[in-house]
Amino acid sequence: MNQSIKPGDNPDLTEERLSGTFDTNSMAAVIYGSDKLAQRRREISEAVSRIPELQDSKPCPFMTREEKILEGSRKSAILNRLLPGLIDLDSFEETVFIHQEVIGIEGHPLALHESLFIPPIATQGTDEQQKKWLGRAQRREIIGCYAQTELGHGSNLRALETTATFDISSQEFILNSPTITSLKWWPGALGKSANWSIVIANLIVHDKNHGPHPFMVQLRDEKSHEPLPGITVGDIGPKMAFNGADNGFLGFENYRIPRENMLMRHSKVTPDGGYIRPPHAKIGYSGMVRVRSRMAAEQGLFLAHALTIAVRYSAIRRQGYLEDRSREVKVLDYQTQQHRLFPSIARAYAFIFCGFETIRLYDQLLIDVQNGNTSGMADLHALTSGLKSVVTHQTGEGIEQARMACGGHGYSMASYISEIYGVAIGGCTYEGENMVMLLQLARYLVKSIEMIQNGKSKNLGPMVAYLAANESEIDLNLGPNEYLKVFQYAARSQAWRATEKFQKLRNSGMSKEQAWNQASVELTRASRLHTRLYIMSTFINHVGSVVDQKIKKVLIDLLNVHITYEVMDIGIYVQGLLSSDQMDLIRNQLYVSLETIRPNAVSLVDSFQISDMQLRSVLGRRDGNVYENLFKWAKSCPLNDKDVLESVTKYLKPMMDKSKL
């Protein structure tokens, strides 16, 4: 049964919920990985809803930027006091979840503290460094951020300009921002809130530059919160979204920190100026891999937010007629609306399943690396580079379709979809701009193909083994595994096409860099197809492992939406494999699968169990009572506090009066 049904709900939504064929709590358990985890989310939402001081003081769209930051800080401080009674303090998931529930997605002063400041200390700090800072950070005696990007440099880490020069005589590093382009720019919470930061700077010892390394740097006085001498720091101004966070700039002028403030678990500088290399050259980049490995699930949830709004609203919005002219139909009954929304529901599920898988892979890698085994780093870097790029892009597309599916009201901030969109698409840029990261995966694919060309196919990892296969015919009787083969064909032929283009250019005498650039559009296409193949195969495997038969049945229906939609979407890449009859068959299977999933559409989005508080959308309310609440929301807009505004008395009225003469 659908657990969201309550008395007083919009009857159209109740009708939808009654037509669902499965238990939404059981589905939530599959989405979040276990009944216990899903249950914990419900318990936390429930507990938070009973604490008056944690409620929004007014709707976010009516707040100024300063009010958003104030509100986020107020709630962060209250949460810090209440957290021990509300969540398992050792659980990163519960910590992120409760902040999102209480403060929302627009960011807050501690938004980066848990995800980008604490993890580098915990994974790249020595035992002594952890003892010194981890407890303080966890108790929030200090607030931190992660300062890597500079005004002139983001994607290309090797071009960072900030320097940390070792001074043997004082046993200190001297930090400097030598140019305007070397100012740190963008770090969340840096602008006004953080008093400490992980700073990525070029390590210079005995005039030798050892490249970017992480340093623990105090920015502000712990009593007065004033910037320390040698530090220039401030907020970079309003952004497209995420305005509850104070992204900042930072400059150093001969700013000294003790030698012990370089995070030295992997690379080390000894007191006499010796440099000890890390076990893997890119180990310092692992904080980014950690965040990327979490982005598929995060983005899947952003998409889930937008779809919860659009699907619920589409079930109560009546517009136009089908057969019965006496009552307008729910817009959810239109095939175009279903085609706009249902493939995105499938993607949201797929992204979340993939996301929990990459989180698990990262956690395993972390254990391996701590035990000295870095062999899995390249694989996970390639996988998460592709995944963050594809998932953020498709999430943005899906959210925008959800907005349009809500018609005019989707454009109002009452829907909250524009904020969800603005926050989600930030992910196309942060943690590595998407094209740049697709090209990182492409390096891996090209290397894999070169292994095949050199007769070393048996050394290929399981994720790229398909590149060596030779599929040229597909059975018309298409099941999920045949769709997978179709996708493998597309990904394989594009990877070979791109690699051969690169090699041909090289063989024509072009430099490696120029040849790479000339082949790069084809290379990014190969990376996208490879990643979409991974998403599809993870989805298929996940559904295969589900035990509850009712849940499995609806997930198979959803998987059918996914595989048919995805194959139609890449039609151009499978022209050599599928006949036009086969393409027609797939197209028809997609339309049938849209109809099949229709009765479960509302239950599928209800299963994400995103509370009204977290959703912050008038259109997406659980109870479906949209119109009366839209009217209330509009009336509460500060512009309506007065009937006659100063804009009228001061300018418009005199203008009209003058025109009358």
Ligand X SMILES: Cc1cc2nc3c(=O)[nH]c(=O)nc-3n(C[C@H](O)[C@H](O)[C@H](O)COP(=O)(O)OP(=O)(O)OC[C@H]3O[C@@H](n4cnc5c(N)ncnc54)[C@H](O)[C@@H]3O)c2cc1C
Q: Which of 196, 249, 430, 444 binds ligand X (CB under 6 A)?
A: 430
Q: Is 431 a catalytic residue?
A: yes
Tell me how far apart the 2 most distant CA atoms of the chain are, in Å: 91
Q: Across-strand partners of 232?
A: 251
244 a known binding residue? no
Question: Choosing from 93, 431, 522, 646, which is the catalytic residue?
Answer: 431
Using rule CB under 6 A, residue 375 touches ligand LFZZZEXQ: no
Stretch that binds ligand X, among 148-156, 158-166, 503-511, 572-580 (CB under 6 A): 148-156
Using rule CB under 6 A, residue 129 touches ligand X: no
Look at residue 378 and give the partner it binds from ligand LFZZZEXQ, ligand X, none, a contact being a CB closer than 5 to 8 Å depending on partner kind: ligand LFZZZEXQ
Distances (CA, A) of 48 to 54, 56, 179, 353: 7, 11, 47, 27
The residue nearest ligand X at its CB is 154
| Non-local CB neighbours of 487 within 8 Å, separated by 6+ positions | 529, 532, 533, 536, 566, 567, 570
Report d(CA 555, CA 546) in Å as an integer: 9
Report d(CA 585, CA 660) in Å as an integer: 69
Q: Which of 146, 215, 466, 633 binds ligand X (CB under 6 A)?
A: 146
Report d(CA 591, CA 419) in Å as an integer: 31
In this structure, the number of other CB atoms found within 10 A of the CB of residue 265 comes to 20
Residue 299 sits at φ, ψ, to 5 deg, of -70, -40
Coil vs helix vs strand at 460: coil
Per-residue contact flags (x/-) with ligand X for residues 101 to 120, judged by CB under 6 A:
-----------x---x----
- Compare residues 151 and 626 and give the one whose CB is closer to ligand X: 151
Q: Which of 22, 146, 342, 487 binds ligand LFZZZEXQ (CB under 6 A)?
A: 146
Using rule CB under 6 A, residue 386 touches ligand LFZZZEXQ: no
Report d(CA 471, CA 585) in Å as an integer: 20
Look at residue 147 and give the partner it binds from ligand LFZZZEXQ, ligand X, none, a contact being a CB closer than 5 to 8 Å depending on partner kind: ligand X
How many residues interact with ligand LFZZZEXQ (rule CB under 6 A)?
28
- Compare residues 23 and 114 and give the one whose CB is closer to ligand LFZZZEXQ: 114
Amino acid at site 549: Q
Distance of CA 50 to the CA centre of its chain: 29
Check: CB of residue 21 under 8 Å from CB of residue 553: yes
Using rule CB under 6 A, residue 608 touches ligand LFZZZEXQ: no
Stretch that binds ligand X, among 35-43, 143-151, 327-335, 644-652 (CB under 6 A): 143-151
CB of 98 to ligand LFZZZEXQ, least distance (A): 11
Report d(CA 215, CA 197) in Å as an integer: 8
Check: CB of residue 220 under 8 Å from CB of residue 228: yes
Q: Which of 432, 480, 620, 624 binds ligand LFZZZEXQ (CB under 6 A)?
A: 432
Q: Which of 436, 474, 546, 630 binds ligand X (CB under 6 A)?
A: 436
**Which residue's entry shows tokens 């283009």?**
501
SS3 content of the chain, % helix, strand, coil (to 5): 60, 10, 30
Q: Which parts of 279-338 interact with ligand LFZZZEXQ (CB under 6 A)?
A: 282, 285, 288-289, 298, 301
Look at residue 32 and give the partner it binds from ligand LFZZZEXQ, ligand X, none, a contact being a CB closer than 5 to 8 Å depending on partner kind: none
Q: Which of 154, 214, 396, 620 binds ligand X (CB under 6 A)?
A: 154
Q: Across-strand partners of 248?
A: 235
In this structure, the number of other CB atoms found within 10 A of the CB of residue 504 comes to 13
Using rule CB under 6 A, residue 443 touches ligand LFZZZEXQ: yes
Amino acid at site 27: M
**Which residue's entry shows tokens 């109002």?**
412
CB of 629 to ligand LFZZZEXQ, least distance (A): 24
- Compare residues 286 and 337 and give the one whose CB is closer to ligand LFZZZEXQ: 286
Check: CB of residue 631 under 8 Å from CB of residue 31: no
Using rule CB under 6 A, residue 633 touches ligand LFZZZEXQ: no
Using rule CB under 6 A, residue 158 touches ligand LFZZZEXQ: yes
CB of 110 to ligand X, least distance (A): 13
149 a known binding residue? yes
**Which residue's entry shows tokens 């995070």?**
263
For residue 111, give the nearest of 144, 81, 85, 138 by alpha carbon.
Answer: 144
Active site residues: 431
- In the complex, which residues of this chain contact ligand X (CB under 6 A)? 112, 116, 146-149, 154-155, 186-188, 242, 247, 426, 429-430, 432-433, 435-436, 439
Summarize the annotated binding site for FAD as residue ranges: 149, 188
